[in-house]
Every structure is written in structure tokens, then in C-alpha cells.
Structure 1
Amino acid sequence: MVDLMETYLENRSRIQPNHTNNYGNAHGGNIMKWMDEVGAMSAMRMAGETCVTANIEGMDFKRPVPVGDTAVIRAYVYDTGRTSLRVRLRAFREQPRSGEIEQTTESTFVFVAIDEENEPTPVPELTVSSERGRRLKEEALATE
């Protein structure tokens, strides 16, 4: 069994000019890529196996992330199937000088654990043992 909080990951990327579109904001494809990478790391921490993206359940871009700001990606596994893992992913823009932060993007990614032969393999049971973990799981389930 693996606890939800063991799967919680956060990563930061400073938005450079080569990450932006012609409006000076992070290209949506870069945000999606970073969410996929952090989501996969969270899923692998849960599964103890390689995990591949199986489904992206919508991608809501609410605000841009301007060049010079930091993209913060937060991920955690909140539900599992026999071989699949549901990961809640949220992206934020963070102003590096003030620390001001606001959510920009949200999605749920479904990953599948695979073995050495690239075949689906079972994942352990997810547990929730803290109040913060329970709150995160409830928030994720409420967005479905």
C-alpha cells in the first residue's frame, strides 16, 4: 500500500523566451508536457513501475503564464484501478520576486503501469492517512 501523500510532487520551471508563444506567454504545449512529466513521476512513485499516459481528461487553460514567471506543477495520485492511476494535475504561475501564485491550468491524467514487456501490470492499493491527503482526494473527486 502507498499513501497519497507519498505521491505528491511539485516542480518548477522558469518561463524563458523559448517556452513562449508569440504573445509572450508560456506555450500551452509546454505546460501540458510539464504536467505529463510530473504526473508520470507521481504515478511511478505510486506504482513502483514505469507508467505511461493513457488518457487526458480535459485541459482547462484559465490564465497565461508570462515570460519571466515560474510555472509550478503539482501532482498526486488520488485513485487507482487494477493497472491504472488517476493523477490530479494543476499548474500555477508564480511571480518569482513576490511569490504571488495563481492557478492557471487543471486536468486529470490517467496513467497505466507497465512491466518490462510493456504489458499492463497491477498497482498497489492507495491509502490516505492524513487530513491533508483526505482533503486532496476529496478535491480531486469533486472535479470529476
Structure 2
Amino acid sequence: MKIVTKSFLFSLLLFMASSTAFAQNQPAAGNVGISASVQGQQINFQLPFWTSESVSIAPIFGLDYREDNFTTLNIGIYPRFYQDIGSDFGAFLGARGLLRYTSPNVGDNETDILIGPTGGGEYYLSEHFSLGVEGQLNFLLNDNGSNRLSTGTAVMATYYF
């Protein structure tokens, strides 16, 4: 039994050392990427810029067109603060600020503000590509006065240049 335990611990140590040595995929300061995040039927594009090894700031752009119903334009900013969990994975906390301009086919246009904290993780498959998931707490300040608090989940894919 002692031999099995020693072999297991040695194998685990060897695996951890090799993954640390060969998997330095997390972006460095100055890296820029393009990201698409999907949340329900809404898709937003982000341009994450890494200001340091643990901070990225991303402008957000999104368009949602529903024929014979409405068009929504999203513009915002999304800073994220990362904590390394190994060299291939980073957990983050962030804050999202989004201006939503909605133009319905019938009725008045609306300009809403969406703000809230986020948290999630990003897995770096290579030096140039990552997949992630985030949870959100959204507070919508509605133009017509009906404010709303909700939660959300989004998945994202990012290509780093």
C-alpha cells in the first residue's frame, strides 16, 4: 500500500510540475482579443485589453434585431480582475456597465442602464484561444421607471492576438 501511495503522489507531483512548465497560456499585459458572449438570445462582442497580468478592460458592443418587433443596441464597459488558478485557468470578478438603446417598431424608444457585478472563470486552451463562463447580478434602470433586479449566466469564447 505504501508503494501505491508513493507512486500516486510522485505521479501527481510530476503532472503538476509539467502542466506548470508547459501551459503558460494566460494573456500578458498589453494583449488584446475579440470575444463573443452568449446569454439567451443576446450576443455581445467584447474587445478585452489586458492592462496588467490580472486586469482586463473590455468595451462591449451588441445588436439585437427582432423582425416586426424591435432593435436593441448595447454599448458598455466591462473591467475584470483575475486570480490565477494554475496557468491555464483564471477566476475573475468584474463589474459590467451597459447602455441599452431599444427602438421598438411601435411605441417610444427607450434608453436603459444595466449595471452589476459578475464572477466566473476562463480556461485558456492555447496562447490565442479561451472559453469561459460567468454569472451575473444585473440591475436594470429602465427608462419607463420599472427597474429590475435579475441574475444571468453567459458563456464566452475569446481569440487573443
Question: TM-score normalized by structure 1?
Answer: 0.32
Greater relative contact order: 1 or 2 (C-alpha under 8 angstroms, separation 6 or more)?
1
**Greater fraction helix:** 1
Question: TM-score normalized by structure 2?
Answer: 0.29
**Greater fraction strand:** 2
